[in-house]
Amino acid sequence: MLNRALTLFLLVLFVPASSHAQEPKKHPIDKALEACIEKDSSTAGMTNCTYKAQEMWDKELNRVYNVLAARLDAEGKRALKATQVEWIKYRDTEHKLIAAIFSRMEGTMYIPMRAADQMEIVKQRAQGLKEYLELVKEQ
């Protein structure tokens, strides 16, 4: 049961929805996460790899935030900062919710799943800011 659930988790994390669909180019952080998990696919290994990837996404988020802020006028910078402050509150409370939900689950497979859900929040924000940056660059 545990091996089947772990296999399902890995499939959901790394296999595209359709084998016929063209897979979008993977971000270097996603590639690093995959390579890390290939080296150590134990529960602890996957969890550590995922937390490392979350740290990388956080660094990417901060990098993109700073580049974006540098391209905005004063009003835009204020709006970006206010939004980021609110997003940090959201991230922290969402991480607490994820921790509370997964703490009720039995089985070690839920440990890397919890880490992946928490990482995904940071990844999505980094990618969202990157999309804003691309829009600003077009102007």
Q: What is the pTM of this model?
A: 0.81
For the chain, the first-to-last Cα distance in angstroms comes to 53
Tell me which amino acid residue 81 is.
Answer: K
Rounded mean pLDDT of 54-77?
98
Of 64, 85, 68, 90, nearest to 77 by C-alpha is 68
Mean pLDDT of 58-64: 98
Each residue's pLDDT tens digit, 73-131:
999 999 999 999 999 999 999 999 999 999 999 999 999 999 999 999 999 999 999 99
- pLDDT for residue 91: 98
- Residue 27 CB coordination number (10 Å): 17
CATH of the domain spanning 27-138: 1.20.1270
Q: Rounded to 5 degrees, what angle do the CA atoms 16, 36, 130 make?
A: 60
- Has residue 19 got a pLDDT over 50? no
Alpha carbon distances (Å) from 134 to 41, 58, 67, 78, 130: 35, 19, 11, 19, 6
Reduce the DSSP state of residue 105 to 3 states and report it: coil
> Is the confidence at residue 9, as pLDDT, over 60?
no
Q: Given a cut of 50, is residue 18 above it in pLDDT?
A: no
Question: 1 pLDDT exceeds 70?
Answer: no
pLDDT value, residue 24: 75
Would you list the domain boundaries of the chain?
27-138
DSSP classification of residue 25: P
**Residue 135 CB contacts under 8 Å (≥ 6 apart), including other chains:** none
Pick from 102, 110, 112, 120: which is nearest to 41 by CA? 112
